[in-house]
């Protein structure tokens, strides 16, 4: 079987996307050990990448595909879609794609929305349309759908979703939006509720992480982790306003850390989950925000607070998080790394996407919505979550076995779409 994986990315520092990619690949190879999987990433050129999973290292072909206006470039989505329709103009990457049995698309987990701008949504929709242009079966892996805030966005999303052979939602709230997109074409068999692929990512121990954790084991209190989002901390209030967040995020997270230490936490680890290349103050990157937070603490507090430094992979930071007694964070997949390993977790959420996944884990009441909650109530909610960690750990222990089974079984149903020679999609 030859597959293509859209909407993921590796080696970019976005460990959420990396977790989705590796989780999906692990599930694919469990069912089809010899499957050839092409990765379509937002790079410019085709290359070979080596990724390490539970099965060991594997080499994958990665093709560039991006929404650049440089339509003459072979990695331009516009050029690729033209080549899909006119074979003589077909770039090699599109020809490679045309030989696939099935295309799987996860939209970066949460990018099937115009929350991050209409241009990004157009890219996400366009990649799905590329598969459909070639007449290939397209499956939308478990992901978030919406919100759609701008005129025309929902119609674009609806059209391409209706054309997919299957579409999975990763949480109950997204499943409601998925059903709205599909209207009368909704089918329980083709449009199920599923589990985020990052639940399948296996933690990978890293010796220096083990040593770091061991150095604090004798701390007089629990070891806790706080993920600080560079997206909210580095972009200033104007950036937060664009997401509907009025509170001062850096001040709020600093108060959470101080509150945790006052509550008796033995040591606080500040955990980045997006580490983009280039400038340390890139708005998408977390390490600068973590360092700035630590520097804002009092000397005594700084002595009990450590920034987890790179380099590390998504699997390695998942291992680190799995060893903590409690976790809170703003990056969606940082919190999934904790939930999926049974670590009681409270989300400091900037969108509705957190609620559904936490609901599946029995932790819906552990989502604090930064858009609608005052700074003082955010602090109170985070500390309440910390105090409730024993009860939350028991709930996760009860829920996780079923979620892991569902995560594995859903891929069998998904890959079955590739056994049919013809797609069930409606041309767009």
User: If you average pLDDT over every residue of the chain, what do you get?
Assistant: 91
Question: Model confidence over 123-178: pLDDT tens digits?
Answer: 999 999 999 999 999 999 999 999 898 889 999 999 999 999 999 999 888 999 99
Q: What is the pLDDT of residue 389?
A: 98
Find where tokens 């599930």 sit.
27
| Whether the Cβ atoms of residue 94 and residue 63 lie closer than 8 Å to each other | no
Q: Per-residue pLDDT for 268 more than 80?
A: yes
Q: What is the pLDDT of residue 422?
A: 38
Three-state DSSP at 368 gives strand
Measured distance CA(277)–CA(285) in Å, rounded: 8
Provide the pLDDT confidence category of residue 423 given band limits of 50, 70 and 90: very low
For Cα atoms 125, 127, 133, give the angle at the middle one, nearest 5 degrees. 100
Secondary structure E strands in 54-97: 56-64
Which domains are assigned to the chain? 2-200+405-419 (3.40.50.2000), 207-343+345-387 (3.40.50.2000)
By CB atoms closer than 10 A (0-12, 13-18, 19+), residue 309 is: middle
Q: Per-residue pLDDT for 210 more than 50?
A: yes
* Alpha carbon separation from 177 to 171, 180, 193 (Å, rounded): 10, 5, 12
Q: Per-residue pLDDT for 333 more than 50?
A: yes
- The tokens of 382 are what? 């985070």
| Whether the Cβ atoms of residue 332 and residue 107 lie closer than 8 Å to each other | no
Count of beta carbons in the 10 Å neighbourhood of residue 143: 28
Query: Which of 68-82, 85-99, 220-234, 331-345 comes out lowest in average pLDDT?
Result: 68-82
| Predicted model pTM | 0.90
């Amino acid at each position: 079987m030859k597959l293509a994986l859209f909407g993921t990315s590796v080696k970019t520092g976005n460990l959420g996307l990396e977790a989705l990619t590796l989780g999906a690949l692990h599930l694919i190879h469990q069912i089809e050990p010899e499957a050839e999987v092409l990765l379509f990433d937002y790079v410019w050129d085709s290359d070979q990448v080596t990724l390490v999973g539970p099965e060991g290292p594997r080499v994958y072909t990665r093709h560039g595909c991006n929404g650049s206006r440089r339509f003459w470039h072979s990695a331009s989505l516009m050029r690729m879609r033209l080549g899909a329709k006119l074979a003589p103009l077909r770039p090699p990457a599109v020809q490679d794609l045309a030989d696939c049995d099935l295309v799987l698309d996860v939209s970066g987990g949460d990018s099937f929305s115009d929350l991050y701008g209409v241009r990004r949504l157009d890219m996400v929709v366009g990649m799905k349309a590329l598969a459909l242009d070639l007449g290939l079966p397209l499956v939308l892996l478990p992901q978030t759908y919406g919100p759609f805030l701008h005129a025309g966005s929902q119609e674009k999303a609806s059209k391409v979703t209706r054309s997919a052979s299957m579409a999975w939602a990763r949480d109950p709230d997204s499943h409601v939006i998925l059903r709205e997109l599909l209207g009368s074409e909704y089918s329980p068999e083709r449009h199920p509720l599923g589990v985020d692929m990052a639940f399948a990512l296996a933690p990978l121990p890293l010796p220096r992480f083990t040593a770091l954790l061991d150095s604090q084991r004798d701390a007089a209190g629990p070891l806790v982790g706080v993920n600080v989002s560079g997206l909210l901390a580095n972009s200033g209030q104007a950036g937060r306003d664009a997401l509907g967040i009025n509170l001062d995020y850096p001040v709020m997270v600093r108060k959470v850390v101080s509150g945790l230490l006052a509550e008796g936490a033995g040591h606080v680890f500040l955990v980045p989950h997006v580490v983009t290349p280039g400038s340390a103050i890139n708005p998408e990157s977390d390490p600068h925000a973590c360092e700035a937070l630590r520097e804002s603490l009092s000397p005594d507090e700084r002595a009990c607070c450590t920034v987890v430094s790179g380099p590390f992979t998504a699997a390695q930071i998942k291992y680190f998080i799995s060893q903590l007694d409690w976790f809170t964070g703003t990056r969606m997949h940082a919190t999934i790394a904790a939930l999926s390993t049974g670590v009681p977790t409270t989300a400091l959420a900037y969108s509705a996407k957190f609620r559904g996944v936490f609901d599946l884990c029995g932790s819906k009441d552990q989502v604090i919505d930064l858009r609608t909650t005052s700074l003082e109530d955010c602090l109170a909610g985070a500390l309440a979550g910390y105090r409730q960690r024993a009860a939350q750990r028991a709930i996760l222990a009860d829920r996780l076995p079923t979620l892991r089974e569902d995560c594995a079984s859903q891929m069998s149903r998904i890959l079955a779409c590739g056994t049919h020679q013809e797609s069930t999609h409606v041309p767009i």
